[in-house]
Copies of this chain bind each other. A is one copy, B any other.
Amino acid sequence: MKEIVILDPAFRAMANILTDHDLARMRTIAEIVWARDEPMPEAEIDAVRDEVAVIISGSWRHGDVGRFPRLRAIMEVGGGFPSPQALDYDACLARGIRVLSCAPAFGPAVAEMGLGLAIAAARQIAWTDRAFRTHDPNWSHTEFETEIGTPFTLYGKQVGFIGLGGLARVLQPLLAPFGCQIQAHDPWLTDTYLRQQGVTPVDLDTLLATTQVIFVLAVPSASNRALLDAEKLGLIRPDAVLVLLSRAHLVDFDALTELLLAGRFRAAIDIYPQEPLPQDHPIRQAQHAVLTSHRAGAIGEALLNIGRLVADDLEAICQGKVPFAMQVAQPEFIRARG
């Protein structure tokens, strides 16, 4: 007999995250319940709660896992993990309920955007393109210097990773052919592990002061709010490029805006403290910045990856095998995130 699986992806829409093929795969593997865009009503949940083996949800709002005596896995399709306020991780751990996040679905799209933004800033692609529309970019092949600095290639440069989680590990192979030396700062990982991943562990100040391309890749946590404050941002080299990719949470955005308007260094930014960004936000005038509108991960291909990963791990779980596609909640990270 097939296992009962709740598919309740709200706020995600079914069509955005699941191809027909992946939904059909899931129906072959398990008895799929609900499978609509609207949040599943309590009455419907009650009807299956004694039997349900897996709950796929856009955001955990089912309270105590004790309600689901046979639950073995929670699959989050929102993008992160349920917050510890919403979900009792200790109870999950004690019962062997795996909590899985679809975060890896976004890795390739975000990493590609990170590389694209780094090149766009280092090689001044966005600035040159803008100049074509308003006045004229530098043409002469020997006037390398422009009003926003000197273009440079990524080849052989010192690169810094703030955070070496899943996103960094997808970005690393994209940078590999450029032969960069990568320094990394990640307080959740041991130096030994960082070295095994082929990066040099450094403290944050060293990273900021010595690398020429700085990628902000860390997952937000209580302890890294505004990690890059005015003082830290002040350490960045004038010829460096800062790529803000994971969350604006990690940076003092007012300080950053001021520095960019002053031309202290260059940056590429995909995420903002307010989205949409107010029309009069001064960063919109920063010539030293490449600006994109939180579109690193949330594009169609990445969302459809979610359904693929969910179907893959559902197959594993229903066959008594180990799921490998989604990210498993590690107790240490959950506690740290507070």
Q: What residues of chain A have their CB less than 8 Å away from a CB belonging to chain B?
A: 13, 16, 90, 93-96, 108-109, 112-113, 115-117, 119-120, 123-126, 128-133, 136-139, 141-142, 144, 150-155, 173-174, 176-178, 188-190, 192-193, 196, 275-277, 279, 284-285, 290-295, 298-302, 311-312, 315-316, 319-322, 324-325, 330-333, 335-336
Contact = CB atoms under 8 A, between A and B. Distances in A.
A119 B290 CA distance: 14
A19 B117 CA distance: 30
B299 A151 contact: yes
Query: What are the nearest 8 A-B pairs in CB distance?
Result: A116-B119, A141-B298, A137-B293, A173-B177, A132-B291, A139-B276, A126-B129, A128-B292
Nearest to A138: B293
Nearest to A283: B132
B124 A295 contact: yes
Contacts of A177: 173-174, 176-177
A37 to B, nearest CB: 12
Given A177-B176, A335-B320, A153 B299 contact: yes
Contact of A108 (B115, B120, B155, B276): B155
Nearest to A312: B192
Copies in the complex: 4
A293 B173 CA distance: 29
A320 B189 CA distance: 9
B301 A152 contact: yes
Given A153-B301, A321-B190, A116 B123 contact: yes
A312 B96 CA distance: 26
Contacts of A139: 275-276, 293-294
A189 B322 CA distance: 7
Q: Which of A90, A126, A190, A292 has the most CB of B within 10 A?
A: A190
Contacts of A277: 132
A319 B155 contact: no
Contacts of A192: 311-312, 315, 325
Contacts of A336: 320
B292 A137 contact: yes
A129 B292 contact: yes
Contacts of A293: 128, 131-132, 136-139
A82 to B, nearest CB: 18
Contacts of A113: 119, 123, 125
Contacts of A301: 152-153, 155
Given A177-B177, A293-B137, A321-B332, A125 B126 contact: yes
Given A16-B142, A150-B300, A320-B335, 7 more contacts: A115-B115, A115-B119, A124-B292, A136-B276, A192-B311, A192-B312, A193-B316
